[in-house]
Structures are given as structure tokens and as C-alpha cells.
């Protein structure tokens, strides 16, 4: 479902739209993935949404792969905008506050990704050096180095953060999380699943019984993604801080 049909004025009958640009193609692709999921983003469906024939897309995009590159770029640019709007500006933050500044940037990036739950799986598969991704990471490197961390430690830090630097993490048991396809999220189907888990994973069940906010037999109680993300992030940031204090490692 989309309002693209009527969102811009056009000459009466034919399907010709104002003028197609790469930017409009990418924006529509993002909108389509937002509303229908990444699986629904095909060259044909995207063209339909734009009131155009599939083959016309190839005038603005070299291939499906290039389309996904562009889509990733749009999302990361959105992150850069959000992060750039932070106060105080990164250059004005006292170097010693690198940890809080980094934390804030990463959580801001995450808040953008929460609006595009499909984005992590696209970002994961981009192998090239997208200019905006590089620029984002370069700013993080600058922040850490200005904070007094040696380049050696900064390098380790970037690896340790991994995709967390962009605000998402790999949660193997979190089908509803930022990386998951909403359509693929299974109904917890509590009764059977819990019985199975009690057999196969008694310790996990015991853990969840103690930890989960809800009773484990009512729903399985998906965990608080945001809180767990921050826990893991802080674990890493605190560790880095400790290493930095220990004489730039």
C-alpha cells in the first residue's frame, strides 16, 4: 500500500511521473522496505510503486545490488544527519568525554535503525566501502583518538564494536529484533515450545524463570532489546576505558 500514486501532481492520463531520479528511486525503495519488508522489495514491485516499468529502473540503478547499495546509503545518511544534530557538536565535546560522546552517537544510530528494521540485514551484506559508512566510522575513530586512545587501541575498539558501532547487534534468539524480518517472526506458541525447552535447555529455562518480567508459562517474554544492547555496549566501552587508562594499552 502506498500513496505514491497521488503524492505528486501529474498530467492527466499517462503514468509519467514528474521525473524519475536515482534519489526518488532509492527513497521509494526505502519506503517499500519499511512498509512491506525487505522481501517485498523487488525490481518489479518497486517499479509498480513508482508507476513505471521494471526495466526503466535500470536507467537510475545499475543492478539490484546497486539498488541495495543505494538503499544502505540512504539509511546511513539518515544516521549521519541524526548524529550530526547532536548537541554539543562532536568537535566541541571535551576529549575526556569520548566515552559518553561515543555512546550517544551509537545509541542515536540505533534509534534510526529502529525505524528501518530491515536495514541491518542490508548493511551486513554490503561488501564495498560505502562513503557514508566510512565517514561515520571515521568520525568515531577521530573521537576516540582525540580522547587519548592510541591508534592501536582505537583499532581494536572498532573491531570489538563491529556492527554495534552502527547501532545493531547479532542476537541469535531475537527474531523480532532489529535484524529480523517481521513477517518471519514466529508466534511463540508457548505450550509446546516451553515443554521442548524444558527438556533441551533446563538451565536457560531456569534462568528465564528468574529473570523474565513476565511469567515464563504465560509468554516466553522476549527480552528488552534496548536494555541488553546498552548493557553489551557499556561492557565494551567500560573495558576500553579501563585499557585506555592503563596507559593506552
Partner DNA sequence: ACCTGAACACCGTTCAAGT
How deeply is 180 buried, as exposed, middle or buried, from its count of CB atoms within 10 A (0-12, 13-18, 19+)?
middle
As measured in angstroms, the least distance from the Cβ of 195 to DNA is 28
As measured in angstroms, the least distance from the Cβ of 232 to a copy of itself is 4
Nearer to DNA, 19 or 127 (CB): 19
Cβ proximity of 130 and 89 under 8 Å: no
As measured in angstroms, the least distance from the Cβ of 140 to a copy of itself is 9
As measured in angstroms, the least distance from the Cβ of 81 to a copy of itself is 17
Q: How many CB atoms lie within 10 A of CB 62?
A: 12
Contact status: 183 vs DNA (CB under 7 A): no
Contact status: 103 vs DNA (CB under 7 A): no
Determine the Cα–Cα distance for residues 212 and 215; give it in Å rounded to an integer.
Answer: 7
End-to-end CA gap in the chain: 54
Residue 59 binds: one of DNA, a copy of itself, none (C-beta under 5 to 8 A by kind): DNA
As measured in angstroms, the least distance from the Cβ of 61 to DNA is 8
| Stretch binding DNA (CB under 7 A), from 43-51, 70-78, 181-189, 218-226 | 43-51
- Select from 52, 71, 119, 123 the one that contacts DNA (CB under 7 A): 52
Our CA angle for 229, 33, 181, nearest 5°, is 50
- The residue ranges that bind a copy of itself (CB under 8 A) are 121, 123-124, 126-129, 131, 133-135, 137-139, 141-142, 145, 151-152, 154-156, 159-160, 162-166, 168-173, 175, 179-181, 184-186, 193, 196-197, 200-204, 206-208, 210-211, 223, 228-229, 231-232, 235-236, 238-240
Nearer to DNA, 22 or 103 (CB): 22
What cell numbers appear for 155 in the block?
A: 583499532
Contact status: 26 vs DNA (CB under 7 A): no
How deeply is 246 buried, as exposed, middle or buried, from its count of CB atoms within 10 A (0-12, 13-18, 19+)?
exposed
Between the CA of residue 95 and those of 16, 38, 148, what are the distances in Å? 53, 40, 7
What cell numbers appear for 9 in the block?
A: 501532481
Looking up cell 557499556, which residue turns up?
A: 234
Amino acid at each position: 500500500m502506498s500513496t505514491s500514486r497521488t503524492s505528486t501532481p501529474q498530467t492527466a492520463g499517462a503514468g509519467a511521473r514528474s521525473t524519475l531520479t536515482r534519489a526518488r528511486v532509492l527513497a521509494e525503495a526505502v519506503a517499500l522496505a519499511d512498509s512491506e519488508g525487505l522481501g517485498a522489495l523487488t525490481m518489479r514491485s518497486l517499479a509498480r510503486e513508482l508507476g513505471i516499468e521494471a526495466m526503466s529502473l535500470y536507467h537510475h540503478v545499475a543492478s539490484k545490488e546497486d539498488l541495495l547499495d543505494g538503499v544502505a546509503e540512504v539509511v546511513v545518511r539518515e544516521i549521519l544527519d541524526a548524529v550530526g544534530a547532536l548537541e554539543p557538536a562532536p568537535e566541541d565535546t571535551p576529549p575526556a568525554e569520548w566515552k559518553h560522546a561515543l555512546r550517544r552517537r551509537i545509541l542515536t544510530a540505533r534509534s534510526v535503525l529502529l525505524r528501518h528494521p530491515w536495514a541491518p540485514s542490508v548493511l551486513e551484506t554490503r561488501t564495498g566501502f560505502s562513503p557514508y559508512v566510512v565517514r561515520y566510522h571515521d568520525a568515531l575513530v577521530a573521537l576516540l583518538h582525540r580522547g587519548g586512545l592510541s591508534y592501536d587501541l582505537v583499532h581494536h575498539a572498532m573491531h570489538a564494536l563491529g556492527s554495534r558501532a552502527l547501532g545493531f547487534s547479532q542476537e541469535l534468539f531475537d527474531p523480532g529484533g532489529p535484524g529480523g524480518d517481521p513477517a518471519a517472526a514466529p508466534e511463540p506458541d508457548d505450550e509446546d515450545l516451553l515443554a521442548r525447552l524444558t527438556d533441551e535447555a533446563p538451565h536457560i529455562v531456569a534462568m528465564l524463570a528468574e529473570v523474565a518480567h513476565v511469567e515464563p508459562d504465560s509468554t516466553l517474554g522476549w527480552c528488552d532489546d534496548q536494555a541488553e544492547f546498552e548493557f553489551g555496549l557499556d561492557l565494551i566501552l567500560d573495558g576500553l576505558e579501563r585499557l585506555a587508562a592503563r596507559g593506552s594499552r
